[in-house]
Structure 1
Amino acid sequence: MNVRIRGIYTTALTRRFLDADHDVVAASDPIRERFDADLGTDPHDVTVETTDDRQGVGVTGDPDAVKRAVDPLDATRDTFAWDLPAPRDAVFDARVTETLGSGAVCDLGDAEGFLPFGSIDAHVEAGDDVRVQVVESAAPWVDRRPVLDGDVRARAGPATLVRGESGVTVDTYDDEAGRELAGMTDLLGIEPPDGWGIVWSDAATEADMGALKTALERATERAETLEAALDAAVSPSRRLAAPAATTWVWFGREARFALDADRRAVTPTMPGHHRVKAGSDEASRAVDFVEALGSHDGDDFDFSAVTDTFGPAAGDAVRLDHGKPDGRRIVLGRAEVTDRDADGTLTLRREMTAGGSYDALGVSRAAGDVAITKVREGRWWYPTVYRGADGDRKGTYVNVCTPVECFPDAVRYVDLHVDVVKGPDGEVRRVDDDELDAAVAAGWVSEALAEKARSVATSLEGAL
């Protein structure tokens, strides 16, 4: 299997894929310098790219290849992987459910997508049926819909066939190389389906004839499959074809440090390399600078140094990003950092609104209530104490989760369902074991991770 990798996890993942006897192709110059391996230019079967928020990777490509590619990524118990119903390149008959300022929200059946008005020739309104293709999938933990387009494309590495176009186009700034490639395309002896034009990416100008032929053959096969599916009559809210699959992989704290070890086996790597890089673009550049200077002695992750430089500090506001094992992210609100200890503990304060009750505590939520949460970097749980306006304690809720990470703008983890609560009368109860069992049965939580969660909950019961 040929894998193309991009983003902050590239060195570590290149080592993992090579160790798993896969081929890494289209590698950057730094990666070629770090590895004593044949990193070719053949078309890739799958692409692994870091997400925009740096929390994980998206894996897109041939459906069988995507399944095989996820195995080397899933190395720790706090790694999660989700297959989504709207992968990149999937074609849908969609129904417009509402229009926004810049585009339309479309019902895809098991998902929603966003169609920018500039990506379709026709005027669309709520109730219209449209045939669209996913051009940009979206991770389940981000608040964003997949992006759709009215054109249909068949992609295969550096070759793309576009329905409704004709001829050969080369997307490159090197006009001379582009003209040469366009002229050579006929020599490949492959004819795309009628009504499909060829678009070569800039990378194609450096590929050999064998790689170009393989890419165009694959693109042609996918175009023929799509063409057959497009012959069907429009029937809204259904998927017509999915020539590629997309799986999103979220890395937890343990996963990032495991990736550090993989990277360290190849090139000097500071403790917490991926943990720091995942925090912000500024932090990522600082890591590059530190490692270029060679200042990365020792084995311990220096939480104080990282937070002193990038935050959060006392007085800052952070989100509580409460991940769910099914891939969703629930923002519990924004909290003020009131204190930060050297051991990695942040004290967070939230003012609560009136209405409803506190989950599992059975206590009403009133105006003036305050929630005080203490989160420690790397810990598998965190407590929240709820107090009324008079200062009286209403209860304590201890959340069991994957190891907490305290980034400059957010505290992040994945909730593991089982929790321990202490009511205002001092009664200690363990709750939601059944939800954890259901998550295991659904395949969202591994048995090893579930056993860790249960063990943590048992310890907390005794401590409270």
Structure 2
Amino acid sequence: MSVRVRGIYATALTRLLTDAGVDVVQASGPIAARFDDEFAVARAGATVETTDDGQGVGVSGDRETVQRVLGELRGVGRDTLAWADPLPEGAVYAGEVTETLGSGAVVDCGDGEGFLPYSNSDDRVETGDRVQVQVVDGAAPWTDGRPVLDGTVAVRGELLTLSRGGTNTATATGPAMLDVVAADPREGWGVSWEAASDDAGFDALAAALEAANERAAAIDDALGAAEPVGEGEPRRQADGGRTTWVWFGRESRFALDGTRRQVTTTMRGHHRVKAGSRSASAAVDYVEALCDEPGSDAETDFPFAVTARQFGPQTGGSLTLGHGKPDGRLITLGRADVQSVDPDGTVTVEREMSAGGSYDALGVPKEAGDVAETKLKEGRWWYPTVYRDSEGATKGTYVNVCTPVEIFPDTARYVDLHVDVVKHADGTVERVDDDELDAAVAAGDVPEELAEQARSVAAAVASALS
């Protein structure tokens, strides 16, 4: 079991996985400098990489290795959630082009849609064309992106890439590499050596090539038994490994702070701040570099007031609500005006509502001039929204129960836990959607421990409102 780890969670996850007996390989320079252990430059059975938005990680690779890694990551915190990608990296599909865009084509793969950049296809593609494609880069379910596809079928890795129908090429290591590596590429496949191979030993390169050959043989067998691309519905022709997306909630990020603190200087809220913005991430690095002793800032509270003042949100600005769903989707609940930002982590926002329909669970109509006032507090497991009409009269209060709220510069982020509490204009308090939470638990989207916390929070909120 070996993994390659990259991104803002790399130090914490390297410590977590190595303590669990998982070999971390191809460590970056900063990671290698923080640990006493030496990290081999060898093939990784899986890659753990931070998502572009910093909200979590993607874990992709051999099924057994991914499963082992997930077993460790799920234990980080009760608000760590994971979703399997229906289009795993490495899977090969017989797809159909459904739309052409400026830079590429949308392809129906049967298990979902992918995006084929024109630069990843040797031939011109048009709507209705049937194409053979491979998933090369997945997309987290909470983003709007599609997995990226490539028309070349290959076994891709950090040390080497084995391409079906390709020729043997070289990088800086030189064309004589195959003369000194005790393995040959599978017949019908060509090997190209990636930059990381320059630092790997010959035995490690031979092992990586042999593993790639095994994967190539499995692909050849699957494609040999598959229907031609132009026949039948879009479908998977050859399995990849496994790709799973892991989202870290606020509690989990703070837990990872503690793990990272075992290795190097780590301010409280390290991962919470880094997940917010690149400029904030750079500021964290600077602050920690000034600390003389590891953990010297560990006992201070998360510096919400300073973070908000420096990076946002700020009064007079705006904020969106990143309403995550337990199945991995993200719904953005519009942009609201920031009315106030308090040092205790409370941000009050207002939205003017449009007429039409009614408010969920309250059963009162949405009318022109209605205003929704939402109070979000960093770290709290719920937030209330009060709806008022144009005259200021209260139409009802809706309290959303969720994973602990995180308030980033541009958005407040959490995962909705279904169960909610409403207070009607006449003072009646009602708890709703317990059945949806039960269904999410049964579906495996919400762990039972997290569901129990949601029920406990809902009971406390209902009691306080009664």
Q: Same fold (TM over 0.5)?
A: yes
Q: Given residue 424 of structure 2, which amino acid in structure 1 is its aligned partner?
A: G
Residue 204 of structure 1 aligns to a residue in which SS?
helix
| Alpha-carbon shift at residue 189 of structure 1 (Å) | 4.0
TM score, norm. by length of structure 2 = 0.95
| Alpha-carbon shift at residue 242 of structure 1 (Å) | 2.2
Q: What's the counterpart of residue 2 of structure 2?
A: 2
Residue deviations 1:175-232 (CA, integer Å, cap 9, x gap): 4xx21xx303133343323332111110101100110001101111111111222232
Q: What's the counterpart of residue 448 of structure 2?
A: 447
1:199 matched to 2:200? The reply is no
Q: What's the counterpart of residue 141 of structure 1?
A: 142
Distance 1:96 1:40 in 2: 42
Q: What's the counterpart of residue 212 of structure 1?
A: 205
Distance 1:49 1:448 in 2: 27
Residue 427 of structure 2 aligns to a residue in which SS?
coil
Residue deviations 1:152-184 (CA, integer Å, cap 9, x gap): 1112441211122112222xxxx4xx21xx303
Q: What's the counterpart of residue 126 of structure 1?
A: 127
Of the structure 1 ranges 406-415 and 21-30, higher mean CA displacement relative to structure 2 is found in 21-30
- Give matches, 1:40-119, under 5 Å: 40-74=40-74, 75-119=76-120
| Alpha-carbon shift at residue 241 of structure 1 (Å) | 1.5
Q: What's the counterpart of residue 33 of structure 1?
A: 33
Residue deviations 1:393-447 (CA, integer Å, cap 9, x gap): 1111000000000000110000000000111222111000000000000111111
Distance 1:102 1:213 in 2: 38
Match of 1:280 among 270, 277, 280: 277
| Alpha-carbon shift at residue 38 of structure 1 (Å) | 3.2
Match of 2:289 among 289, 292, 301: 292
**Percent of aligned pairs with the same amino acid:** 60
Residue 415 of structure 2 aligns to a residue in which SS?
strand
2:353–2:372 contact (8 Å) kept in structure 1: yes
1:113–1:148 contact (8 Å) kept in structure 2: yes
Match of 1:226 among 219, 226, 235: 219
Residue deviations 1:274-320 (CA, integer Å, cap 9, x gap): 11111100000000000011185333111101111111010111110
1:267 matched to 2:260? The reply is no
1:247 matched to 2:244? The reply is yes
Residue 379 of structure 1 aligns to a residue in which SS?
coil
Q: Which runs of 4+ in 1 moved over 3 A?
A: none
Q: What's the counterpart of residue 432 of structure 1?
A: 433
Of the structure 1 ranges 401-410 and 145-154, higher mean CA displacement relative to structure 2 is found in 145-154
Residue deviations 1:380-403 (CA, integer Å, cap 9, x gap): 000001112222211110000000
1:93–1:129 contact (8 Å) kept in structure 2: yes
Match of 2:181 among 176, 181, 188: 188
Residue 32 of structure 2 aligns to a residue in which SS?
helix
1:158–1:215 contact (8 Å) kept in structure 2: yes
Q: Given residue 253 of structure 2, which amino acid in structure 1 is its aligned partner?
A: R
Of the structure 1 ranges 208-217 and 96-105, higher mean CA displacement relative to structure 2 is found in 96-105
Distance 2:450 2:153 in 1: 41
Q: Given residue 102 of structure 1, which amino acid in structure 2 is its aligned partner?
A: S
Q: What's the counterpart of residue 152 of structure 2?
A: 151
Q: What's the counterpart of residue 409 of structure 1?
A: 410
- Give matches, 1:156-195, under 5 Å: 156-170=157-171, 175=172, 178-179=173-174, 182-195=175-188
Structure 1 runs not aligned, ≥5 long:
none
Residue deviations 1:230-268 (CA, integer Å, cap 9, x gap): 232223321112232111100000000000000111111
2:137–2:149 contact (8 Å) kept in structure 1: yes
Residue 438 of structure 1 aligns to a residue in which SS?
helix
Distance 1:123 1:159 in 2: 28
Alignment RMSD, CA only? 1.3
1:156–1:218 contact (8 Å) kept in structure 2: no
| Alpha-carbon shift at residue 121 of structure 1 (Å) | 2.3
